Structure 1
Amino acid sequence: MTDDYLSRVGTLIRDARRHKKLTQSELAEALQTSQSAVARIEQGKQNLSLETLARISEALDTEVVAVASSTPLNLRIKGGRKLSGEIDVRTSKNAAVACLCAALLNKGKTTLRNLARIEEVNRITEVLASIGVKTRWLPDSSDLEITPPAVLDLDAMDETAARRTRTILMFLGPLLHQFGEFQLPNAGGCDLGSRTVEPHLFALRAFGLDVVASHGYYHAKVDSSVRPSKPIILTERGDTVTENALFAAALYDGETVIHNASPNYMVQDLCFMLEKFGVRIDGVGTTTLRVHGVQEINKDVEYHPSEDPIEAMTLVAAAVVTESEITIRRVPIEFMEIELTLLEGMGMKYDIEGDEYVSANGKTRLIDITTKPGPLKAPKDKIHPMPFPGLNIDNLPFFAVIAAYAQGTTTLHDWVYENRAIYLTELNALGARVQLMDPHRVMIQGPTKWRAAEVMSPPALRPAVVILLGMLAAPGVSVLRNIYVIDRGYEELDTRLNKLGADIQTFRDI
């Protein structure tokens, strides 16, 4: 079995065990093995024979492998509980995605340390494996080793996996250096309305890439004689647009100037990784990047992606709405300053524990904070995202559940996406008063008298987690159905919240 398959089967076994309300020790006793062996199985670190799978299926009274492809995973949440304790912010989903795509630039071995083991990463590794890239989770770790073949086999690409993520669009920049002509399946991912790919194509035309979209594919042709003759001005200060331009510039043996670049956290991580590849980049953290590319990258490199400010905001929001005191460690403060300042203006209090320190990448600034429970009031002005260093676009939805907790009326303006604001109205099932003003704006009246409910998970990552947070605040038993979209961006979020005192159980309808 591949490491990725073992990981997914292990997760399924863990979910089935919890559904049967068994401990690891109890399952171990039924299998006549040790608790540590069950732990390795559930972590995807134990090879499994068909005989072992059959014994596990019998012990759990479920067909382990068959269920995996047929029934969605749900959450049962007993809400209204206080949280307490300490929790680390894990490494960034979006940085992981950028770094995985960057590995396509390197002919040598790339090792990503402490990578987020999430579904989005699984989808990308499936695509990489299908085109000949060897990926291997190193034993007893979350370190991913990536080794490319001499030539990628794009004809063998796993299109099912590719269509489940918009990340496939970020293959354009790396692949234009390797092929004169190629095609990629149309991208998928979160359902957030029409998001044009034109800014990507505009940026990459400077490197000779021409793309036509038809019949479910991006058909790409590359004129290798075309190279940037003037600064590239991005028509959108987007994170992935900037990353695609960086991929293209990294293997251009000359200087590329990129204006209106995103200076956001995942772009900075990508720049730091490219520098390890030997690419010099001036202006990291600003909107103008000067990239001094190289003809070839062929070296063994390891890189540590930094911590996730979106997960940090998730944990802060969980503390606020459950009125809890928790210590959140490894918060990337540079990318949380606006959010915390807004919350302070609403009345939130928190302590900074100890001194600032740096992430394992040697660059990103981290702090530990302890939240203090207390009432909040609605802000006087609307809350809206802006490109970094403004409020992060992905952190805006968390202010919906916070506003539902606060006293007064709050307006959120989500100008980036057509559909995401609509999904926030699902909080109404939990007792919130969220009024959709137009496809981009909601008005939220607080405080909320939370109540338990059963809700189908929205098809967008952050709104789905917002519903989960509302359920943590709501007394009684709530059910959130089909949480695949949450697993795309968070690693074991339910387990980690349970360690803080939440009561979240996974189950499948079987």
Structure 2
Amino acid sequence: MTKYVIHGGKPLFGEISISGAKNAAVAIIPATLLVDGVCRIENIPQISDVTLILNILQDLGADVRTVNRTTVDIDCSHIHNSKVPEELARKIRASYYLIGALLSRFGSAEVPPPGGCDLGGRPIDQHIKGFVAMGADVDVKGGYIHAKAKGGRLTGTTVYMDIVSVGATMNIMLAATLAEGLTVIENAAKEPHIVDLANFLNSMGADIMGAGTDVIKIRGVERLGGGMYSIIPDQIEAGTYMAAVAAAGGEVLIKNVIPKHLECITAKLVEMGVDVEERDDAVLVRRTGKLTRTNVKTLPYPGFPTDMQPQIAAVLCLAQGTSVVTEGVWDNRYRYVDEFRRMGAQIQVDGKIAVIEGVEKLTGARLRACDLRAGAAMIITALAAQGTSEISNIHHIERGYEDIVRKLSGVGADIRVVITPDEEQSEATAG
């Protein structure tokens, strides 16, 4: 078993550079299926979800070539297969983007139901509603989602989203890119990675307007050509390190960010007594005094992101007074609470509401990451806690954070990777 061992209680000082956005990369890479030519994608994060989605493309027949650590060339011109391998797809939530991309290009798709973190009911009914409205027959049988466009090509139409869904908005954009006519998505999500996907597709020759607003219009084109594109910085990775500084104290310059994307996170940290100074492509985060309570409700962008909810809860565990966290997106996002309680946190959960009574200090403990963002939150509590913490199930964390041990070690955190003897090695430090 591989785990993180963290000796907490040390403030953080220095600089951290943010990687490319996970949530953009796992949609833009499947979008290369629509392109007739070579796509050079830059600023790709080195995380397991990206490796999986690239492996799926290769299994389908794509030519994927690594240019350097953060750049790949992808050529999907010669793919003739629209059936996605089950073993790989079930490990990643974003595999559902392959449905929209394959439907758009081939008029058919066979994709296993998505995997990823268990955060409660995560149906793809809004995705399917969009595909059906555009003229696809969609059925689930034999462990696969089967989608087929009547007449071989999807047809543009108006799709109204019953709920604001990031995944469905992006998937319908993919499906509409090569469809016949105009598709209008109403009540669309507005997240930065939706804008990034639209910008990528447009740079390859798509005709998409309105991304970042609640109405997106996609006029289908006959083909997309190759080109080069750089993925935006990761809003959630940046927010996670901002929360780490808030909890542990210190002063860190977080580089390679788009400060506007972080405003919803910055606002809450400032309310809690953290100093955040915005620069052109960086934020300086400083916390020297006591943290004060605040209330947080997760909402679709530009509201506070659900993917930052466990991390902000970690900070609130050390804030003076009583804070209330309301989860407005997922049903099962509080599974980390029992782990926090092992460290002395005072949290009560009722449905989607958590009431957090701040404590003077947390104490190191053995913790188990239950999903990606909860695992990141446990690192934050461990950095702030007195004593030593061990975090297992770190594969969840590595799905979405590139070089997290190296980046935190670089700002003074005492964190290392330990491999237990049953894996033939007693200990290995991260480089």
Q: TM-score, normalised by structure 1?
A: 0.79
| Aligned match of 2:144 | 217
Structure 2: distance between partners of 1:133 and 1:152 = 10
Instruction: Give 1:475 deviation, angstroms.
Output: 2.0
Aligned CA distance change for structure 1 residues 226 and 102 (closer, same or farther; 3 Å): closer
Report the AA paired with residue 114 of structure 1.
N
| Residue 395 (structure 1) aligned with residue 323 (structure 2) | no
| Aligned match of 1:143 | 71
- SS, match of residue 406 in structure 1: coil
Structure 1: distance between partners of 2:218 and 2:155 = 12
> Mapping of 1:219-368 within 5 angstroms?
219-224=146-151, 228=155, 230-297=157-224, 299-353=225-279, 356=280, 366-368=281-283
- SS, match of residue 397 in structure 1: helix
Report if aligned partners of 1:206, 1:226 keep a CA contact under 8 Å in 2. no
| Residue 442 (structure 1) aligned with residue 354 (structure 2) | yes
Structure 1: distance between partners of 2:109 and 2:266 = 45
Structure 2: distance between partners of 1:221 and 1:281 = 23
Report if aligned partners of 1:424, 1:463 keep a CA contact under 8 Å in 2. no
Structure 1: distance between partners of 2:99 and 2:258 = 29
Deviations 1:305-331 (A, max 9, x none): 111110111011110111111111233
Structure 2: distance between partners of 1:228 and 1:443 = 48
Fraction of identical pairs, as percent: 31
Aligned CA distance change for structure 1 residues 180 and 388 (closer, same or farther; 3 Å): closer
| Residue 453 (structure 1) aligned with residue 365 (structure 2) | yes
What is the total number of aligned residue pairs between the two structures? Answer: 421
Report if aligned partners of 1:73, 1:507 keep a CA contact under 8 Å in 2. yes
Structure 1: distance between partners of 2:343 and 2:64 = 42
Instruction: Give 1:479 deviation, angstroms.
Output: 0.5
| Residue 495 (structure 1) aligned with residue 427 (structure 2) | no
Report the AA paired with residue 219 of structure 1.
H
Instruction: Give 1:250 deviation, angstroms.
Output: 0.9
| Aligned match of 1:410 | 323
Report the AA paired with residue 277 of structure 2.
D
Q: Quick check: which has more Rg, 1 or 2?
A: 1
Instruction: Give 1:266 deviation, angstroms.
Output: 0.6
Instruction: Give 1:253 deviation, angstroms.
Output: 4.1
Out of 331, 334, 337, which is 1:421 matched to? 334
RMSD: 1.7
| Residue 378 (structure 1) aligned with residue 293 (structure 2) | yes
Structure 2: distance between partners of 1:144 and 1:174 = 19
Is there any run of 5+ residues in structure 2 with no aligned partner, and where?
Answer: 422-431
Q: TM-score, normalised by structure 2?
A: 0.93
Structure 2: distance between partners of 1:393 and 1:98 = 19
| Residue 186 (structure 1) aligned with residue 98 (structure 2) | no
Report if aligned partners of 1:319, 1:325 keep a CA contact under 8 Å in 2. yes
| Aligned match of 1:431 | 344
- SS, match of residue 506 in structure 1: strand
Deviations 1:43-67 (A, max 9, x none): xxxxxxxxxxxxxxxxxxxxxxxxx
Report the AA paired with residue 240 of structure 1.
G
Structure 2: distance between partners of 1:490 and 1:120 = 10
Report if aligned partners of 1:201, 1:210 keep a CA contact under 8 Å in 2. no
Structure 1: distance between partners of 2:355 and 2:226 = 51
Report if aligned partners of 2:104, 2:178 keep a CA contact under 8 Å in 1. yes
Deviations 1:185-210 (A, max 9, x none): 12110011121110000011122222
Instruction: Give 1:211 deviation, angstroms.
Output: 1.7
Deviations 1:22-52 (A, max 9, x none): xxxxxxxxxxxxxxxxxxxxxxxxxxxxxxx
Report if aligned partners of 2:185, 2:215 keep a CA contact under 8 Å in 1. yes
Structure 2: distance between partners of 1:325 and 1:466 = 19
Deviations 1:469-500 (A, max 9, x none): 10111122211012001000000101110010
- SS, match of residue 235 in structure 1: coil
| Aligned match of 2:379 | 468
Report if aligned partners of 2:259, 2:283 keep a CA contact under 8 Å in 1. no
Structure 2: distance between partners of 1:162 and 1:226 = 24
Structure 1: distance between partners of 2:301 and 2:420 = 42
Instruction: Give 1:235 deviation, angstroms.
Output: 1.9
Instruction: Give 1:422 deviation, angstroms.
Output: 2.8
| Aligned match of 1:56 | none
Is there any run of 5+ residues in structure 1 with no aligned partner, and where?
Answer: 1-71, 357-365
Report the AA paired with residue 76 of structure 2.
P
Structure 2: distance between partners of 1:462 and 1:199 = 24
Report if aligned partners of 1:132, 1:153 keep a CA contact under 8 Å in 2. yes
- SS, match of residue 252 in structure 1: coil
Once the two structures are overlaid, the 10-residue window that deviates more, 180-189 or 425-434, is 180-189
- SS, match of residue 295 in structure 1: coil
- SS, match of residue 236 in structure 1: coil
